[in-house]
Amino acid sequence: MKTAFLSAIIMGFIAPSLIAQVPAASYALCAACHGPDGKGIGAGTPVPMAPALGGSKLVASGDGELFASIVFTGIAKEDAKFLGMMAPLGAVMKDEDLADMLTYVRSNFGNTASPVTVSQVKAWREKYNGKPMQKRTDLEKQATTGVAAKP
């Protein structure tokens, strides 16, 4: 986690001034697009870089597996709703750091979802690592209905 985090700072993906505003180290990589306050960063355009995490069905759904699957697989760019796609980030985070980050987001920014454990992350990593990027429309449907999209 530290290596990926430092690389992101050095490469300019995360401004050092932004880091000072991030309350949880495990969330720092996410803050580059979702902002230190979880509201999403506007990137100086009318289209936001990434969606807000507060009140997100994708974040708060169930036990956290849907949210974890997004971190492992990423989200493909489908439309002009957001500037970019969500890159898969699970490979750059240890299970402990990922569990901390998922729990942090699920319990902050107005969210009140249950914590995520390291053992859950280990199981989800085996299930989702190497899978293709997911579509936001499928993820939103799954968060609403509880039924996963057919591959």
**pLDDT, tens digit (0-9, with 9 covering 90-100), for 52-82:** 999 999 999 999 999 999 999 999 998 888 8
Residue 150 falls within a domain, yes or no? no
Total domains present in the chain? 1
pTM: 0.82
CATH number at residue 127: 1.10.760.10
Alpha-carbon distances of 122 from 27, 28, 63, 135, 148, rounded to whole Å: 18, 21, 14, 23, 20
Task: Give the residue numbers spanning the domain of 137.
Answer: 2-144
Residue 74 in domain: yes
Residue 60 located in a structural domain: yes
pLDDT at position 3, please?
46
Is 23 a domain residue? yes
Q: Which two tokens stand for residue 18?
A: 């932004």
* 8 A C-beta contact, residue 124 and residue 93: no
Average pLDDT of span 139-148: 88
pLDDT at 5: 43
Domain-embedded: residue 128: yes
Q: Which residues pair with 75 in a beta bridge?
A: 86, 134
Residue range 100-118, pLDDT digits in tens: 999 999 999 999 999 999 9
Residue 138 lies in a domain: yes
The verdict on residue 19 lying in a domain is yes
| Residue 149, in any domain of the structure | no
